[in-house]
Structure 1
């Protein structure tokens, strides 16, 4: 059986990293990189670090408006699919690469497999939410990461026999990457275990100039109380520089980190502030309190569990929530110690179901 996997962003590479070698082993497997965020050359460090083979097709679509980018991907993907004639196409998550792959495959009557199906923030102002819904309703096989996602799919009328509750591949990826971290990195950055906060910020709604300034003003205030390391997404850095935003002296800006270094720093941080979806699960696995710089999340079960906390995107809410938490070591400790049950071996389960 021939399977095509489509990816185009670093989170997809990370989350699919435990699955790709198994797909290579069990199927005639073709790997397509769309180049959604960066060139393949810039992503190559992730492939090397995670010991993944090179892609069969590199589309180098690059950045554009949502419509232009998705349309360009669909044109290029269609050409590959017509040439390769696969039995199924596998996509992951909620990116434009995911959407382009799912729609193109569906139009060609090729089975669509969606890994991380059913996640919902219930906020259609987020482009990712539109992608999630459309991809799920194009898909023939849906792998849900948690019970909430499974329930979302059923409530939207998707047939139960299409849905499989398997867990999340990102957990296996995170546990594997933890062993790649060299603890000398802490000294190199002037950090000590549990004495710094980690931060990421990249979502479209948070990198609008006014919104980004409000968040950064809050982070500057928090940095008076704790050192913050901030690996900066290229888009975020561009806006910070163009607008000459003030960056507090206790904030360490770095280039985007390799996955092993990032997971290592995440595991040793006092807490993480992020708008990333993937980091919300990774921090829960590593027992690092996660403070979500968003008004909502697709990983609601972790908030309900008390493992993560939504702090919003407004100055007062961010500052009050995080400074109060910094003064409450008991609450931080409770967040760390809440038991988070998760599945491992998810990629093996997916392969078994695809073969059945």
Structure 2
């Protein structure tokens, strides 16, 4: 069987990383990179970090509006899929690359498999929510990471026989990267284990100039109590520079990092402030308290369990919540004591399922 695996962003590269070698062993795999993330720091460094082979096709789509980006991806993907004639297209998550891959394959009557199916924030103002819902309803094989995602799919009328509860590939990727981390990296930033917070901001809704100013103002206040390590996404950096947004000296700015370095620094932190869905998962795997800079999340069950904390994006809410957390170490300890059943082995389950049913 020939499988075309489509990816285009950092989260997809990471979450596919333990799966790609297994697919190469068991099938003929065509690896296609759309170019949605197209800089070395956001892309190639992750292939090197994770010891992944080169892609068979790189489409170099780059940036643009959602419609422009998705449309250009579909045009280029159609050419590749017509040439390669795969039996199955494999996509992951909720990006424009995911949507373009699933739509193009479906229109060519190629079967679609979706890794991380069924995740929902129930907020259709988020482009990612629209992407993940559409892709799930186009897919022939839906690999759900947990029971909540499975139930979401059932509730939307997707037949049970299409859904496979396999677990989360990010568990395998995250634990592997943690083992590769060189702890000397802490010294590069003059950091001590669990004495600093990590910050990431990249989502479209958080990087408008006014919203980013509000979030950064919150972080500046928080940094008076705890140092904050901030690997700056390229989109976020451009907004900070163009709007002359100031950060205090207690906020340590860095370029985007490779996966193993970021996982190592995350695993040694006191907590993480993020708007990333992937980092919410990774924080749970590493047992690092995760404070979410969003009003909704597709990983709400971790919030409901008390494992992660949803802060919203208003300055007062962010500052008040973090101040309360920092003033009572027991609150952080309580978050770390919440047990989550996270099992390794999702990539192998996906491959074995495809061997049986695809």
- TM-score range for the pair, normalised by the shorter chain length: over 0.9
Residue 199 of structure 1, CA deviation:
0.5
Secondary structure at the counterpart of residue 248 of structure 1 = coil
Q: 1:269 to 1:30 in 2, by over 3 A?
A: same
Q: How does 1:52-63 map to 2 (within 5 A)?
A: 52-63=52-63
Q: How does 1:249-288 map to 2 (within 5 A)?
A: 249-288=249-288
Secondary structure at the counterpart of residue 246 of structure 1 = coil
2: CA distance, partners of 1:186 / 1:304: 32
Q: Structure 1, residues 150-203: CA drift from partner, whole Å, max 9, x if none?
A: 011011110000001111101110000001111111111010001000010000
2: CA distance, partners of 1:102 / 1:43: 22
Residue aligning to 1:35: 35
Residue 37 of structure 1, CA deviation:
2.1
Q: 1:187 to 1:148 in 2, by over 3 A?
A: same
2: CA distance, partners of 1:196 / 1:340: 24
2: CA distance, partners of 1:161 / 1:301: 24
Residue aligning to 1:211: 211
Q: Structure 1, residues 196-248: CA drift from partner, whole Å, max 9, x if none?
A: 00010000000011100000000000000000000000000000000000101
What value does the CA root-mean-square deviation take over the aligned residues? 0.9
2: CA distance, partners of 1:129 / 1:82: 29
The count of corresponding residues between Structure 1 and Structure 2 is: 356
Q: 1:41 to 1:301 in 2, by over 3 A?
A: closer
2: CA distance, partners of 1:202 / 1:108: 33
Gaps spanning 5+ residues in structure 1: where? Answer: none
Residue aligning to 2:229: 229
1: CA distance, partners of 2:307 / 2:200: 18
1: CA distance, partners of 2:238 / 2:57: 29
Residue aligning to 1:296: 296
Residue aligning to 2:90: 90
2: CA distance, partners of 1:263 / 1:100: 29
Contact 1:197/1:228 (CA < 8 Å) preserved in 2?
A: yes
Secondary structure at the counterpart of residue 68 of structure 1 = helix
2: CA distance, partners of 1:67 / 1:42: 22
Structure 1 segments, 4+ long, off by >2 Å, are 39-42
Contact 2:10/2:42 (CA < 8 Å) preserved in 1?
A: no
Contact 2:42/2:256 (CA < 8 Å) preserved in 1?
A: no
Give the stretch that moved more between structures: 40-49 or 341-350: 40-49
Is 1:145 paired with 2:145? yes
Residue 41 of structure 1, CA deviation:
8.5
2: CA distance, partners of 1:202 / 1:53: 27
Q: How does 1:174-213 map to 2 (within 5 A)?
A: 174-213=174-213
Residue aligning to 2:128: 128
Residue aligning to 1:220: 220
Residue aligning to 2:20: 20
Residue 45 of structure 1, CA deviation:
1.6
Residue 39 of structure 1, CA deviation:
4.5
Q: TM-score normalized by structure 1?
A: 0.99
Contact 1:197/1:272 (CA < 8 Å) preserved in 2?
A: yes
2: CA distance, partners of 1:163 / 1:309: 29
Contact 1:2/1:86 (CA < 8 Å) preserved in 2?
A: yes
Secondary structure at the counterpart of residue 291 of structure 2 = strand
Residue 114 of structure 1, CA deviation:
0.1
Q: Structure 1, residues 84-106: CA drift from partner, whole Å, max 9, x if none?
A: 00000000000000000000000
2: CA distance, partners of 1:208 / 1:41: 22
2: CA distance, partners of 1:42 / 1:145: 25
Residue aligning to 1:169: 169
Gaps spanning 5+ residues in structure 2: where? Answer: none
Q: How does 1:101-116 map to 2 (within 5 A)?
A: 101-116=101-116
Contact 1:40/1:58 (CA < 8 Å) preserved in 2?
A: no
1: CA distance, partners of 2:59 / 2:322: 42
